[in-house]
Amino acid sequence: MHPDDEREFAVQVLSDESVGLIDGPRWRSSTPETYRTLDGITGNYCIIWSIQDRGTLSARHIPTCNDWYCDSEFATIQFLRSQNYGPMITEGRIAIGTNNTDEDVAKRIEQRFRTLAKFVKKHYANSVVQWCNPTVPFAPAAPGRSANPSKPDAQVWIGPHALRWLRQDEGRHIKQFKNAVVEARLIEARV
């Protein structure tokens, strides 16, 4: 997400007063500090947690570094934040994995996740980027190789600010992580 998309997403997340943000799964104590803004989140891994979904989160102590690690992530929504590096932004994502939690807790978390996904699908655009490897020739799919560039990716949702940012410069692109070779570009901005 572009930082402006991320701020608007956080407003949606935090519109429910029971929701707090946690700066990653490693904490300085057995209970996490929660925030009502992104200002306290210094890393790219943010936990979205509601006390209505599960009253407390648990953590296990890691003596070698004197940290605590959340062992109840299954009762939260994982929000991996995008990172900006000049003309490149990394993919962000939200995810859940409720298979190790009580059925009622799982239902509440899954409903919260569906609500956030609905917000993204209403305000963001998909099928507007295609993946390519700029180090090899562009060519259609053939035996033993996939098309370069790919078909438009319906699984990647681009926020309105990110879309505007990408359209401002053909050299701007998205990667899954900073050092990846493969990148996504707007369909109208072929390399």
pLDDT score recorded for residue 30: 95
Q: At 52, give phi and psi (nearest 5°).
A: -75, -25
Neighbours of 101 (CB within 10 A): 20
CA dihedral (100, 93, 148, 189) in degrees, to 10, reads 170
Strand ordering across the sheet containing 59-62: 26-27, 67-70, 59-62
pLDDT score for 111: 96
Query: What is the reported pLDDT for 89?
Result: 97
User: What pLDDT score does 43 carry?
Assistant: 93
The DSSP output letter for 173 is E
Helix (H) or strand (E) holding 156: none
Give me the pLDDT at residue 99, please: 84
Residue 86 gets the label, from left (phi > 0), alpha (psi -120 to 50) or beta, of: left
Residue 87: the pLDDT is 97
Q: Enumerate the domain spans of the chain.
A: 3-122, 125-186
**pLDDT at position 191:** 46
pLDDT (tens place) for every residue of the chain, 191 residues total: 999 999 999 999 999 999 999 999 999 999 999 999 999 999 999 999 999 999 999 999 999 999 999 999 999 999 999 999 999 999 999 999 888 888 999 999 999 999 999 999 999 999 999 999 999 999 999 999 999 999 999 999 999 999 999 999 999 999 999 999 999 999 975 54
pLDDT of 90 reads: 97
Is 6 within 8 Å of 89 (Cβ atoms)?
A: no
